[in-house]
Amino acid sequence: MHLSHVGISKLCFLLSLALCAFVLLLIPTFQAPPRQGDRPPPAPRPQPRPHAKLPSARQGQLPPDGAHPNKTGQRVTLGTSPQTLGRGTAAKLRPLPGDAPVPAVAPAGQRRFSLGSRSRDPLELKDIFIAIKTTKKYHKTRLELLFQTWVSQAKEQTFIFTDGEDKELRKKTGLNLINTNCSAAHTRQALCCKMSVEYDKFIESQKKWFCHVDDDNYVILPSLLRLLSSYSHTQDVYLGRPSLDHPIEAAERVKSDGSVSVKFWFATGGAGFCISRGLALKMSPWASLGNFITTAEKIRLPDDCTIGYIIEALLEVSMTHTHLFHSHLENLQRLPSNSVLDQVTLSYGGFENRRNVVSVGGVFSLAQDPSRFKTIHCLLYPETEWCPKRSHP
């Protein structure tokens, strides 16, 4: 049998393909195995770190300014609850340089507790946001006295939160007069409405401390600076004076359905209170952009109680009690005369008790200065132009 020329060509082509495939299969067998020295050395195994011990806090030790820590004698720092904030909140809640970041809350078994410590914080008056809550009917009777006295020493740091526009007051304060458009009624809803605006304005200000006072308080600025300088604004600090001798109890309607109750301390707004920026930032899920009003409605309590609820019940940060803040609800005459200028805030009695004022002597009689604010101011700032000059022998 004779094969054609075409058949022979096809046979040769197939044999060539088979030979190439066989050679390709044999190539790996001719390669030398990798040497041991060519392999990268194994990574060293990490050594376990020893557990750090928390420093023990001395129970019941009083700070030098007379303030004393609440409950356990130590401050506990917790993360905030994970809630989605409104659009644009991140820009408004920018931490200051040096601020501690606002942490997200971890599961209950993984939370990290840290003991707060008092540390010197270089502080100036410009670092403090002082909010005065008032109403339009007191613009002349109460605010004029404050502008004549202590506010004159802190115009740029003091912000007036009211419920009505006032052209004359606007000339004095400029942008520091905030018309909240809240109701002028002295109701829980109206008070919480104003506090909500105060909180948001403080966060926008980027200042280190938020201090709230009423329109019948005298703020002794040197004492305020001295007190706040004892703490760090990046830590969880809630300073104030309770109006009760026991924690308040309320139904828990934020973390539960109200079937259980919660106990917490709160600083009365009538005496004033201060909150560090670090703590204020952690309050934002329940306080910023109108959330404060929502929180207050759930627990059905006034503004100062709601502040205490957010800090103590939700964030589990203890209030630091201090006797340096004073309201008209206490007996101001019992305050020793030689300690008056060392206090942070003072007040005076209203129409129901005009004699409830601090006992301090000076160039003004009680009839000339029924609140004693002018007398206190002249003792602090004797060079004020309207203060009577004492004759020297």
Query: How far is 118 from 281, CA to CA, in rounded Å?
Result: 19
- Residue 83, C-beta contacts closer than 8 angstroms, at least 6 positions apart: 285
The answer to whether 304 is a known catalytic residue is yes
The neighbouring-strand residues paired with 188 are none
| Choice among 236, 303, 304, 369 that is catalytic | 304
Burial environment of residue 60 by CB neighbours within 10 A (0 to 12, 13 to 18, 19 or more): exposed
Q: At what angle do helices 188-205 and 291-299 cross, to 10 degrees?
A: 150
Query: How far is 367 from 233, CA to CA, in rounded Å?
Result: 41
Per DSSP, 133 falls in state E
Q: Write phi, then psi, for 89 (nearest 5 degrees).
A: -65, -35
Coarse DSSP helix, strand, coil percentages of the chain, rounded to the nearest 5 percent: 35, 10, 50
Query: How far is 259 from 239, CA to CA, in rounded Å?
Result: 30
- Residue 360, C-beta contacts closer than 8 angstroms, at least 6 positions apart: 337, 340, 372, 375, 376, 379
Catalytic annotation, residues:
304
